[in-house]
Amino acid sequence: MNIGFIGIGAMGAGIVRNFLKAGHQVAIWDRFQEPMNELAELGAHVAASPVEAAQDAIVFSMLAHDDAIQDTLIDRGWLRGVNKPLLHVNMATISVRYARKLTELHAAAGIEYVGSPVFGRPDAAAARTLNLIVGGTKSAVERLTPLFDAISSKAWHVGEEPFQANLVKLAGNMMIASAIEAMAEATALGTAHGVDRNVMLDVYLEALFPCAVYRGYGSFIRKREYEPVGFKLPLGSKDIRLALEAGESARVPLPLAGVVRDSLLQALANGYEQSDWSSLAEASYMRAGLGPNE
């Protein structure tokens, strides 16, 4: 298929590589030239603008947040300038409120719209092991299935409305952050009582939570080192804030999310802005009065 892709970060680059490996023709656009040059060497066509990247019938986008989408696509008249018919697959993690707005804007412009945020880090994008959370009509999802198969291990169709995919993604990130917080608090407690943090994590990750999230983020906590960065702390903070916003809009209390938000803010205030979001664990160690080598 001929498709477009707008927004080439670490995640987007891995996804585009897999589209190319599967034999698809991909037109790409990003505000930075370097990542596009690397993909051009693999066969991608570098578009001059987001509109040019959407000249075929299907376009994917993976921009950082609500404001980036608004600035890059909406405010610049992208909806008016693209060829139609068009199916737009938005892979960004955005607010439920803005996802609803985008659905309305696309419908008014005569453009089919699907929400498809992802679970997985850049290494998963490169390895084609992402899990896609998909909100949209059944017919659109069926049409996209060959493309989803090229970039993921599974696409989970969670509802007919695009915003439902964003809600599931935000709630999932809230759960991941809560897992990081739980491991940090438990190991801070053990450390304060003289128990080796590594022994505790061995027990928890083998006997209680032998799954990818706990093992993956447990490895950061084990070393108290938060690189390589797969998902920066400010982005994690943004997602928890958006989960709380969604809860407030539906009058659903999210007390755990409030705790995690405060830990994220404490980590940000203490200089972890460029670190992986698992560095929110450091807030537990700070509260316990534990130094960096403890």
The owner of tokens 């989960």 is 243
The pLDDT of residue 293 is 83
Q: Which of 34, 13, 25 is nearest to 53 (CA)?
A: 25
User: Is 286 exposed, middle or buried, given 0-12, 13-18 or 19+ CB atoms closer than 10 A?
Assistant: middle
Report how far Cα 95 is from the mean position of its chain's Cα atoms. 12
Domain boundaries, the chain: 2-160, 167-287
DSSP 53: G
Q: 2-160, what's its fold?
A: Rossmann fold (3.40.50)
Q: What is the DSSP string of 163-229?
A: HHHHHHHHHHHHHHHHHHHHHHHHHHHHHHTT--HHHHHHHIIIII--SHHHHHHHHHHHHT---S-
CB atoms within 10 A of CB 10: 15
pTM value? 0.95
According to CATH, what is the number of the domain 167-287? 1.10.1040.10
Distance CA 152, CA 141 (A): 14
Q: Which of 64, 77, 70, 107 is nearest to 231 (CA)?
A: 64
Backbone angles phi, psi at 16, to 5 degrees: -65, -40
Helices 10-21 and 33-40, interaxial angle, to 10°? 20
Beta bridge partners of 3: 26, 58
Distance CA 232, CA 276 (A): 5
- Cα dihedral 258, 261, 266, 272 in deg (nearest 10): 160
Contact 186, 200 (CB under 8 A): yes
Contact 116, 135 (CB under 8 A): yes
Q: Do domains 2-160 and 167-287 have the same CATH topology?
A: no
- Would you give the end-to-end CA distance of the chain in angstroms? 54
| Catalytic machinery residues | 169
The owner of tokens 């001929």 is 2
Contact 6, 63 (CB under 8 A): yes
User: Tens place of pLDDT for every residue, the chain, 294 residues?
Assistant: 999 999 999 999 999 999 999 999 999 999 999 999 999 999 999 999 999 999 999 999 999 999 999 999 999 999 999 999 999 999 999 999 999 999 999 999 999 999 999 999 999 999 999 999 999 999 999 999 999 999 999 999 999 999 999 999 999 999 999 999 999 999 999 999 999 999 999 999 999 999 999 999 999 999 999 999 999 999 999 999 999 999 999 999 999 999 999 999 999 999 999 999 999 999 999 999 999 888
Interior CA angle at 254 toward 251 and 260, to 5°?
A: 150
Strand bridging mode 152-159 / 2-6: unpaired
Q: Retrieve residue 144's tokens.
A: 């996209």
The owner of tokens 């940000």 is 268
The radius of gyration of the chain from alpha carbons, rounded to an integer in Å, stands at 20
